[in-house]
């Protein structure tokens, strides 16, 4: 975000007592100011859910400006032992004192009363919450104790949450907690979703508006319907010279198999290997194969094999990805996660094959909307 130096949206401080003589910091002192546009502090360790992307400028009455380095929430210790929060507090590193904006409190529904040489503040329910006596220099100051133990605990929990988010290849926190709550995997702790977005996920997983799934799933056993789709060729070859990959998805279990190929002409041989493997392992037979009508899926050899084995080959019409939505969405998910992995860990693009294989491994061990309480691998 670019902002002009003299923009009217700069955060403003009109109070002249923003710094004490000698530059000393009063640890728990907060000045209440009608001219301050936002709550501000120089204590980074007091702020929870600090968003360092919210940078800006603070303009003083003499038109000097300083930089703000983020915005967060401060948790405070009340006299009765409870915890309360001050939201949208700007982090200004060079400030020695802390400022409470009366304008921001008023905007949030609080009420102020000036009487008996003191400033009293009432909350939205008209409950008395704070009293600041007027000092000799005509300012109002109050002592507020930050709850640093909660801050440290929150930072620890958020760090562990991000660690498991990355271990599971940037899986969303709702699905991560489903894995824990329903005991779908062992060893995964209960996670607390951080109060900010993952930058890598925002960059790599931006989808178009979803379309309605026109074909409902009615399968009752494994291999009743198998989706087959290809993706590529990629701009960069893998270390083995592969440029495309094909995915097989079982509609009933949502289990995914992936194969890296050098040429599309290899799809037929890969299908034969896949068919033999899954039918031997499951003691079942593929009944229906659904593809998007690509040339690699409609060759004479392909059709002959399906006819000999009694496999119904369903081919979707051209330019209708909705008809093969399961495979299309899966390929999109695989590419999004792979792209995110390559960006976040700064690995060469030629390792996309290993990233795709890792992504498939993790997707088979992640929750699916079609399954109840188990992962595709278990199903």
Per-residue confidence (pLDDT) for residue 4, from 0 to 100: 40
Look at 342 and 26; give whichever has higher pLDDT: 342
Any bridge partners for residue 59, and if so which? 12, 65
Whose tokens are 């939205």? That residue is 124
Provide the mean pLDDT of the chain. 81
Rounded alpha-carbon distances, angstroms, from residue 129 to 77, 104, 125, 126, 283: 13, 16, 10, 9, 70
Per-residue confidence (pLDDT) for residue 320, from 0 to 100: 62
Q: 3: pLDDT confidence band, cut at 50, 70 and 90? A: very low
Per-residue confidence (pLDDT) for residue 19, from 0 to 100: 44
Per-residue confidence (pLDDT) for residue 180, from 0 to 100: 87
Per-residue confidence (pLDDT) for residue 88, from 0 to 100: 85
Q: How far apart are CA 78 and CA 101, in angstroms?
A: 19
Q: How many CA atoms lie within 13 A of 376 on its CB side?
A: 21
pTM score above 0.85: no
Percentage, residues of the chain above pLDDT 90: 27
* Span 59-76, pLDDT tens digits: 776 777 888 888 888 877
Q: 18: pLDDT confidence band, cut at 50, 70 and 90? A: very low
335, containing H or E segment: helix 325-344
| pLDDT (average), residues 77-84 | 66
133, containing H or E segment: strand 128-133
Catalytic residue chosen out of the listed positions 10, 33, 229, 250 = 33
For Cα atoms 123, 129, 135, give the angle at the middle one, nearest 5 degrees: 120
Per-residue confidence (pLDDT) for residue 315, from 0 to 100: 87
Per-residue confidence (pLDDT) for residue 110, from 0 to 100: 86
Q: Is the dihedral of CA 59, 60, 61, 62 positive or negative?
A: negative
Per-residue confidence (pLDDT) for residue 141, from 0 to 100: 83
* Span 131-145, pLDDT tens digits: 888 888 888 888 877
Per-residue confidence (pLDDT) for residue 208, from 0 to 100: 58
Per-residue confidence (pLDDT) for residue 217, from 0 to 100: 56
Q: How far apart are CA 50 and CA 70, in angstroms?
A: 6
User: Do residues 189 and 168 make contact, with C-beta atoms less than 8 angstroms apart?
Assistant: no
Lowest mean pLDDT among 15-19, 54-58, 313-317: 15-19
- The answer to whether residue 266 scores a pLDDT higher than 90 is yes
For Cα atoms 172, 175, 181, give the angle at the middle one, nearest 5 degrees: 140
Per-residue confidence (pLDDT) for residue 280, from 0 to 100: 95
- The answer to whether residue 372 scores a pLDDT higher than 90 is no
| pLDDT (average), residues 154-166 | 70
Q: How far apart are CA 367 and CA 32, in angstroms?
A: 50
- Taking the mean position of all CA atoms in its chain, how far away is CA 263? 35
- What's the start-to-end Cα distance of the chain, in Å? 48
Per-residue confidence (pLDDT) for residue 312, from 0 to 100: 94
Per-residue confidence (pLDDT) for residue 5, from 0 to 100: 42
Whose tokens are 């802390």? That residue is 98
Q: Which candidate, 83, 90, 199, places its Cα nearest to that of 151?
A: 83
User: Do residues 40 and 54 make contact, with C-beta atoms less than 8 angstroms apart?
Assistant: no
Per-residue confidence (pLDDT) for residue 156, from 0 to 100: 45
* Span 116-135, pLDDT tens digits: 888 888 888 888 878 888 88
Per-residue confidence (pLDDT) for residue 11, from 0 to 100: 63
| pLDDT (average), residues 283-303 | 89
Per-residue confidence (pLDDT) for residue 28, from 0 to 100: 74
Which stretch, 161-170, 213-222, 237-246, has highest mean pLDDT?
A: 237-246
Structure tokens at 292: 């998007």
Identify whether 49 is a catalytic site residue. no
Question: For helices 173-181 and 148-167, what crossing angle results, to 10°?
Answer: 90
Q: How many CA atoms lie within 13 A of 352 on its CB side?
A: 25
Q: 198: pLDDT confidence band, cut at 50, 70 and 90? A: confident
Q: Which candidate, 99, 138, 128, places its Cα nearest to that of 18?
A: 99
Q: What is the DSSP string of 233-273?
A: --SS--TT---EEEEEEETTT--EEEEEESSGGGHHHHHHH
């Amino acid at each position: 975000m670019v902002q002009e130096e003299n923009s009217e949206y700069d955060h403003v401080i009109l109070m002249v007592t923003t710094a004490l003589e000698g530059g000393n910091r009063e640890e728990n002192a907060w000045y209440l100011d009608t001219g301050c546009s936002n709550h501000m502090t120089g204590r980074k360790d007091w702020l929870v859910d600090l968003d360092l992307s919210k940078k800006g400028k603070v303009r003083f009455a003499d038109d000097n400006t300083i930089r703000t380095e983020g915005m967060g929430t401060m948790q405070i210790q009340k006299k009765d032992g409870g915890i309360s929060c001050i939201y949208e507090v700007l982090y200004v590193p060079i400030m020695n004192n802390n400022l409470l904006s009366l304008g921001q409190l008023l905007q949030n529904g609080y009420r102020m009363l000036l009487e008996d040489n003191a400033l009293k503040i009432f909350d939205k329910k008209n409950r008395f919450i704070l009293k600041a006596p007027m000092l000799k220099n005509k300012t109002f100051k109050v002592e507020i104790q930050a709850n640093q133990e909660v801050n440290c605990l929150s930072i620890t929990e958020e760090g562990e949450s991000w660690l498991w988010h990355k271990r599971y290849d940037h899986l969303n926190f709702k699905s991560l907690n489903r894995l824990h709550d329903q005991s779908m995997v062992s060893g995964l702790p209960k996670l607390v979703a951080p109060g900010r977005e993952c930058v890598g996920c925002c960059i790599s997983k931006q989808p178009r508006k979803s379309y309605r799934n026109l074909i409902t799933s009615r399968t009752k056993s494994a291999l009743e319907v198998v989706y087959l789709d290809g993706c590529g060729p990629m701009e960069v070859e893998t270390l083995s010279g592969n440029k495309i990959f094909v995915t097989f998805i079982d509609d009933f279990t949502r289990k995914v198999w992936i194969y890296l190929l050098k040429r599309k002409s290899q799809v037929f041989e890969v299908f034969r290997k896949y068919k033999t493997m899954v039918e031997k392992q499951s003691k079942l037979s593929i009944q229906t194969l659904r593809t998007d009508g690509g040339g690699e899926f409609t060759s004479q050899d392909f059709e002959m094999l399906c006819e000999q084995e009694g496999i119904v080959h369903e081919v979707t019409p051209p330019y209708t990805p909705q008809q093969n939505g399961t495979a299309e969405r899966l390929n999109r998910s695989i590419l999004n996660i792979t792209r995110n992995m390559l960006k976040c860990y700064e690995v060469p693009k030629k390792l996309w094959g290993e990233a795709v294989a890792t992504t498939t491994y993790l997707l088979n061990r992640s929750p699916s909307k079609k399954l109840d309480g188990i992962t595709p691998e278990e199903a």
